[in-house]
């Protein structure tokens, strides 16, 4: 008999979630762990890796997977996919043999930053973690494994309850960090974040992972591109968007040391290091990573590395670009951005987020009030994401360094 309490979304970090027509089948460690109603979709993942339906079919071809497991009173035997017959056991074997990385190293991905809670706890900070059945994917389980199992609370697949539990823990003197994926941790739980956490100005740190198109193959339903807008619009909430792993660790520490609600946005994709290990970042500060005279590129999150790459390409063409990391989206470092705009006279804002209500909105408001200059915006233009590899999606949606270069040239060539 399978323990049916291990359900659904944990499969994102632990192997397979299959949704076909009106049936859900979740698989964990070879066992069927969940059966229920759902929509026609198939997702496949190993650790932090996933494949969309089209990619999986093209890689593996057609096969049949007989399911011979039991969940409660439900039994499945010889279940066939009518659209594409995929042998999921064969898929697991092929992917493992192909050398695909099972997750990404902490040096490359921001996700592992939540594991740094153990260091904060060791220094005497009363930090606790509250998750929603994704402790493996968000790495909050590392906090428990480091000797703080009594400080990790897994609420199951109940993100709204997760926020309320964190709020309750905060009222008793704890610094509560919440996990989950961004689409669930901010979208599904928005009402609780607004009315329970922010309205009462509680010491809760909303720190989900898997934000933006970095979720890749999980598709548009899981690519959260409105979270900065949602969180920045809340009174009392601060918003931090780190560019790499070192910055994410710094953001977790900064959030813990900052009284009141803080949102820390972290993606899943592997990104090059921008900052040195042990860097300390400040609330309300932006950081000039490269000086220039012809144009200012203001970026946050994964777009910071893209902005630096764009600056290199522009330099080869004789255009001097200043690159600013707006790590603290709210409060925004107006002084640094305005001073740069006065110097260069042109500004491009780049963010892996919708262009409505995110970093671009904050920067344009600051410049409209203090230093109006020509501007361009690189971001998701009023659309949802779709399945694909991270790098492919960045290019497809015009979020990569080439898109930044194009935006700069539209300003400098006029």
Mean residue pLDDT across the chain: 78
Q: What is the pLDDT of residue 180?
A: 87
- Greater pLDDT, 110 or 343: 343
CA gyration radius for the chain? 22
SS (H, E, C) 216-244: HHHCCCCCCCCHHHHHHCCCCCEEECCCC
Alpha carbons 21 and 11: distance in angstroms, whole number: 19
Q: How high is the pLDDT of residue 111?
A: 63
Lowest average pLDDT, out of 119-128, 326-335, 366-375, goes to 119-128
Lookup result for tokens 């600013």:
324
Contact indicator for 354, 187 with CB cutoff of 8 Å:
no
Task: Please report the pLDDT score of residue 215 as a whole number.
Answer: 86
pLDDT bracket for residue 144 (50, 70, 90): confident
The residue annotated as part of the active site, out of 159, 226, 351, 352, is 159
Give the model's confidence band at 72: pLDDT under 50 very low, under 70 low, under 90 confident, else very high: very low
Q: Is 108 a catalytic residue?
A: no
- Contact between 67 and 77 under an 8 Å Cβ cutoff? The reply is yes
The answer to whether residue 13 scores a pLDDT higher than 80 is: no
DSSP secondary structure code for residue 388 in this structure = S
Residue 351 dihedral angles phi and psi, to the nearest 5°: -150, 145
35: Cβ contacts below 8 Å, ≥ 6 apart: 23, 24, 25, 26, 71, 72, 74, 76
- The residue that leads in pLDDT, 139 or 332, is 332
8 A C-beta contact, residue 292 and residue 412: no
End-to-end CA separation in angstroms for the chain: 70
CA–CA dist 388, 215 (Å, integer): 9
| DSSP one-letter string for 271-301 | ----S-TT----TT--EEEE--SSEEEEE-T
| pLDDT class of 314 with cuts at 50, 70, 90 | very high
Over residues 85-104, mean pLDDT: 31
pLDDT in tens, 262-300: 999 998 888 889 999 999 999 999 999 999 999 999 999
The lowest-confidence range among 69-73, 166-170, 369-373 is 69-73
For a pLDDT cut of 70, what percent of the chain falls above it? 73
Q: For 304-309, what is the mean pLDDT?
A: 97
Tokens of 115: 């594991």
CB-CB neighbours of 407 under 10 Å: 22
Which of these, 302, 312, 337, 324, lies nearest to 402 by C-alpha position?
A: 312
């Amino acid at each position: 008999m399978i323990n049916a309490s291990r359900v659904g979304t944990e499969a994102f970090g632990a192997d397979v979630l299959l949704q076909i027509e009106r049936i859900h089948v979740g698989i964990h460690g070879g066992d069927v762990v969940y059966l229920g109603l759902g929509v026609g979709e198939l997702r496949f993942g190993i650790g932090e890796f996933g494949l969309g339906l089209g990619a999986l079919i093209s890689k593996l071809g057609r096969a049949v997977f007989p399911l011979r497991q039991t969940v409660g009173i439900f039994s499945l035997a010889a279940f066939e996919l009518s659209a594409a017959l995929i042998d999921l056991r064969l898929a697991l074997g092929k992917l493992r043999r192909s050398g695909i990385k099972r997750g990404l190293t902490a040096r490359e991905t921001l996700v592992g930053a939540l594991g740094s809670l153990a260091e904060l706890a060791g220094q005497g900070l009363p930090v606790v973690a509250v998750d929603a059945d994704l402790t493996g994917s968000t790495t909050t389980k590392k906090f428990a494994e480091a000797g703080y199992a009594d400080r990790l609370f897994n609420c199951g697949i109940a993100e709204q309850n997760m926020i309320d539990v964190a709020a309750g823990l905060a009222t008793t003197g704890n610094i509560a960090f919440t996990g989950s994926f961004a689409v669930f941790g901010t979208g599904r739980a928005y009402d609780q974040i607004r009315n329970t956490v922010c309205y009462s100005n509680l010491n809760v740190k909303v720190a989900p992972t898997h934000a933006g198109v970095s979720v890749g193959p999980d598709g548009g339903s899981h690519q959260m591109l409105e979270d900065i807008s949602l969180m920045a619009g809340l009174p009392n909430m601060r918003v931090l968007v780190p560019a790499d792993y070192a910055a994410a660790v710094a953001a977790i520490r900064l959030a813990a040391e900052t009284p009141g609600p803080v949102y820390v946005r972290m993606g899943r994709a592997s990104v090059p290091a921008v900052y040195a290990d042990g860097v300390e970042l400040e609330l309300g500060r932006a950081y000039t990573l490269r000086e220039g005279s012809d144009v200012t590129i203001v970026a946050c999150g994964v777009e910071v590395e893209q902005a630096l790459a764009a600056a290199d390409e522009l330099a080869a063409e004789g255009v001097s670009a200043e690159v600013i990391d707006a790590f603290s989206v709210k409060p925004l470092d107006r002084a640094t951005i305005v001073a740069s705009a006065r110097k260069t006279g042109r500004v491009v804002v780049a963010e892996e987020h919708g262009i409505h209500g995110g970093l671009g909105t904050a920067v344009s408001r600051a410049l409209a009030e203090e230093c109006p200059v020509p501007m361009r915006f690189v971001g998701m233009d009023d659309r949802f994401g779709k399945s694909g590899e991270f790098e492919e999606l960045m290019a497809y949606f015009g979020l990569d360094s080439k898109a930044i270069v194009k935006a700069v040239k539209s300003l400098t060539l006029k």
